Amino acid sequence: MAMNVGSSSGDDEVVSTINTTPLVDVMLVLLIIFLITIPVVTQSVALTLPKETNVVRVTKPENIEIAVTKDGDVYWNTALVPDSDALFERLKKVAVMDPQPEVHIRGDGKARYESVGRVVYTCQRAAIMKISFVTEPPARGG
């Protein structure tokens, strides 16, 4: 049996071109994988999220200002309220007024959510109908 191994003249050429077929195959497979997985990742429940509103606050003398410091201290206008029970008693007296005054909560930026949440919960227990959060508007132009 005889076997032919190349040409006998010794003129073997080296192929210097890059074979891009495997690269194209891999890229097409990755493209198909991304096209299949992107709709799965972006699915969510259809909601209409609330829009940010900036309403100018009208200060009325009957409105109640409750401030929460970063340490969790609660102030009724400028007077320190010792605990949630004392705040509840004060809010109960205000809740029966007609018209019921608004409660404006001013929470320190570094206050714990628990401190502000406790004030909101106390207002809810006292049947306060309108609670507002006082914030500082962002600087204009940036």
d(CA 139, CA 134): 16
Within 8 A by CB and 6+ apart from 68, the residues are 74, 75, 105, 106, 107, 108, 111, 115, 116, 119
Question: Confidence class of residue 118 from pLDDT cuts 50, 70 and 90?
Answer: very high
Query: Across all residues in the chain, what is the average pLDDT?
Result: 83
The CATH number given to 64-133 is: 3.30.420.270
pTM here? Answer: 0.59
Q: What burial class does residue 36 get, using C-beta atoms within 10 Å of its C-beta: 0-12 exposed, 13-18 middle, 19+ buried?
A: exposed
Delimit the domains of the chain by residue range. Answer: 64-133
Q: Convert the pLDDT of each residue in 48-99 to its tens digit.
A: 766 666 666 666 777 899 999 999 999 998 899 999 999 999 999 999 988 8
- Give pLDDT, residue 8: 58
Smallest CA-to-CA distance from 74 within 60, 89, 59, 62 is with 89
Extract long-range pairs of 117-126: CB within 8 Å, 24+ residues apart.
118/84, 119/66, 119/68, 119/74, 119/87, 122/84, 122/87, 122/88, 122/91, 123/91, 125/88, 126/88, 126/91, 126/92, 126/94, 126/95
Smallest CA-to-CA distance from 110 within 52, 68, 65 is with 68
126 phi, psi to nearest 5 deg? -85, 5
Question: What mean pLDDT is predicted for residues 35-57?
Answer: 70
Residues listed for the chain:
142
In the chain, % of residues over pLDDT 70: 75
Q: What is the DSSP letter of 99?
A: S
Neighbouring-strand partners of residue 133: 105
